[in-house]
A and B are shown apart, each in its own frame.
Chain A
Amino acid sequence: MAESSLVVSEAPNEHGYRPFTLGGFRFERDEHFVHVTWPTGRHVAPAEPFLKALMRDVAWNFFYGTVNFDAVIGTLNHYGDVDLFAGRFNEEYRKAELDHSENFPHDEIKATFQAMLDDWVNEDFDPFAAPMETGSAYGEKTGSNAPAVTRTRIAAKRMVGLPGDEPLRSDESGYPVNRAFLDVDQEEPKVEVTEGYENEVSAFNFFAYLSRSDVTWNPSVVSVCRDSLLCPTTEEFVLPIIHGNDRVEWFVQLSDEIIWEVEDRETGKPRAKVVMKAGDCAAMPADIRHQGFSPKRSMLLVWENNSAELPGQIARGEAPTVPVTF
């Protein structure tokens, strides 16, 4: 893939991986680890979780709020520009004055992260796949996996399956039913349409669609009601990021179970565990960070408010922290 002129990198090291520089941050990887340095400190992270987090950050355009790769490194989205930080949301790093943050134009940090993924993900590793469905992230550089790291986020304009919108998934289109969802009913709803109303009388088997997802922890938009987006996803193992909310986010557990560890967004101190079973519905407040654990592949409906007014309200501190009070 052609690399952006915004990317600053060097020749490959002895392991075959190129180092990258972004402002005062420097990123290097070896067989096992990613090493990050900045003017006041350094950090080392295992390559696999780092690449999985990096993949989400790129694919989600830095998402809503904070994407913590771990307790030290992460990004904060300002919707047009992005902070890259080390230790900013870690109370002890801040006390020790080891924390560091730099702001970058969206295109610059995205190009650098995309180039890092392109270079550091080996041919048999898919950062979006469940652990048992992919090869290893470790070892010396062996090829690349451009199809895996350049997936675009599926986002229906109105509803999946409508003419001209995002297509349904099938064996023929390369989406077999996942091994963990072989018992999910695949029968489509019965739709009887009067001629001329084909664009408006429409339904699809949503659970079957999810059972054919080839990725984990990657919400995609299936239906759009003004700025209300249904963003279902299938989850297995651990959410590779710790998401720090800047707005209220909702989870509806459609199948199986996820355990969420919830911490204070600023300090990382534990606040709650939220155990969600099929049919449960819970909000994530706008002042926390959360990470999910899904023992068996499960179906989760993430529900987002994509209002263009929210970033301004968030910046002014006007967005509500909790969705309702009672």
Chain B
Amino acid sequence: MTKYKTVFASLDNFEKGGVEVINDDPKNYVFSNMFEVASQSKPWEKVAIARNVEYVLEAIRAEGVSPWRVTPHDEFAIVVDGEVVIELLDPEDTLVDPSSSGSIAVQGEPKGVIMGKITARRGHLALLPAGKCYRMIADHPSVVILQTVMGPDTIERWSQICQKY
């Protein structure tokens, strides 16, 4: 029986594929690699690696302690490398307009009820619930993919991260 080896990648070990053009512009495919993006990012930068109208997937280099953030809608975090602790807090006051898009930073320490804590490693997917605050802690450089809506802190640097030729 074949012994299969599942290949995952990481910050320290990734190999990119690419677009092999026959009759097209490679830029149409907006091709990047999440680990390469995270390897070139500052901690907690929210760099879009996919965008579909207002929706984005962001690659986040998790390293140290993030600022507290609050999200107007559900977000979802997939840890794709390393280990990340996610702390969740139910704020005393409404800190974000529910009709807005994308999470925003919270100034200082938010007051409220501690909801719980998630310790997530590679392959784990966590809910970041609407209206609630969260922060992430990573003792070692890790990578998170965030499913969210484009917000004020989303960074678009397509020409730097994508295959052009």
Seen from chain A, the residues whose Cβ lies within 8 Å of a Cβ on chain B are 158-160, 162, 179-185, 187-194, 197, 200-208, 222-228, 230, 248, 250, 252-257, 262, 269-285, 296-297, 299, 303-305, 307, 320-326
**Given A189-B120, A204-B125, A206-B125, A323 contacting B113 (CB threshold 8 A):** no
Residues from chain B with Cβ under 8 Å of A158 in the complex: 74, 127
Q: Are B29 and A203 in contact (CB under 8 A)?
A: no
Seen from chain B, the residues whose Cβ lies within 8 Å of a Cβ on chain A are 1, 4-9, 14-24, 26-36, 49-53, 55, 57, 73-76, 78, 80, 86, 88, 90, 113-127, 129, 132, 145, 147-149, 156, 158-159, 162
Residues from chain B with Cβ under 8 Å of A208 in the complex: 123
Nearest CB in chain B to that of A183: its residue: B6
CB B136 to nearest CB in A, in angstroms, measures 13
Q: Are A326 and B147 in contact (CB under 8 A)?
A: no
Q: Are A225 and B19 in contact (CB under 8 A)?
A: no
Q: Are A280 and B16 in contact (CB under 8 A)?
A: yes
A194, A228, A256, A272: which contacts B20 (Cβ < 8 A)? Answer: A272
Residues from chain B with Cβ under 8 Å of A204 in the complex: 124-125
Nearest CB in chain B to that of A256: its residue: B7
Q: Are A225 and B17 in contact (CB under 8 A)?
A: no
Q: Are A326 and B162 in contact (CB under 8 A)?
A: yes
How far is B17's CA from A279's CA once the two chains are assembled, in angstroms?
A: 9
Given contact pairs A206-B125, A207-B124, A281-B33, enumerate 19 new A-B contacts (beta carbons under 8 Å): A160-B125, A185-B123, A194-B113, A200-B88, A203-B118, A205-B123, A223-B74, A223-B76, A223-B147, A225-B73, A254-B8, A255-B7, A272-B24, A273-B19, A274-B19, A274-B20, A277-B15, A282-B30, A285-B28
CB A291 to nearest CB in B, in angstroms, measures 14
A193, A307, A321: which contacts B115 (Cβ < 8 A)? Answer: A193
Residues from chain A with Cβ under 8 Å of B119 in the complex: 189-191
**Most chain A CB neighbours (cut-off 10 Å) among B23, B123, B132:** B123
Residues from chain B with Cβ under 8 Å of A159 in the complex: 74, 76, 125, 127
Residues from chain B with Cβ under 8 Å of A162 in the complex: 127
Q: Are A203 and B120 in contact (CB under 8 A)?
A: yes
Q: Which 10 A-B pairs have the closest CB atoms?
A: A207-B123, A275-B17, A201-B116, A203-B126, A278-B9, A206-B125, A326-B158, A279-B9, A228-B55, A190-B119
Residues from chain B with Cβ under 8 Å of A322 in the complex: 27-28, 30
Residues from chain B with Cβ under 8 Å of A250 in the complex: 50, 52, 57
Q: Are B116 and A193 in contact (CB under 8 A)?
A: yes
How far is B5's CA from A297's CA once the two chains are assembled, in angstroms?
A: 10
Residues from chain B with Cβ under 8 Å of A324 in the complex: 30, 51, 156, 158
Residues from chain B with Cβ under 8 Å of A274 in the complex: 17-20, 29, 31
Q: Are B123 and A206 in contact (CB under 8 A)?
A: yes
A179, A190, A207, A270: which contacts B4 (Cβ < 8 A)? Answer: A179
A183, A197, A205: which contacts B90 (Cβ < 8 A)? Answer: A197
Q: Are A225 and B88 in contact (CB under 8 A)?
A: no
Q: Are B7 and A283 in contact (CB under 8 A)?
A: no
How far is B23's CA from A135's CA once the two chains are assembled, in angstroms?
A: 39
How far is B16's CA from A253's CA once the two chains are assembled, in angstroms?
A: 11
Nearest CB in chain A to that of B77: its residue: A203
A189, A230, A262: which contacts B118 (Cβ < 8 A)? Answer: A189
Q: Are B22 and A273 in contact (CB under 8 A)?
A: yes
How far is B7's CA from A282's CA once the two chains are assembled, in angstroms?
A: 18
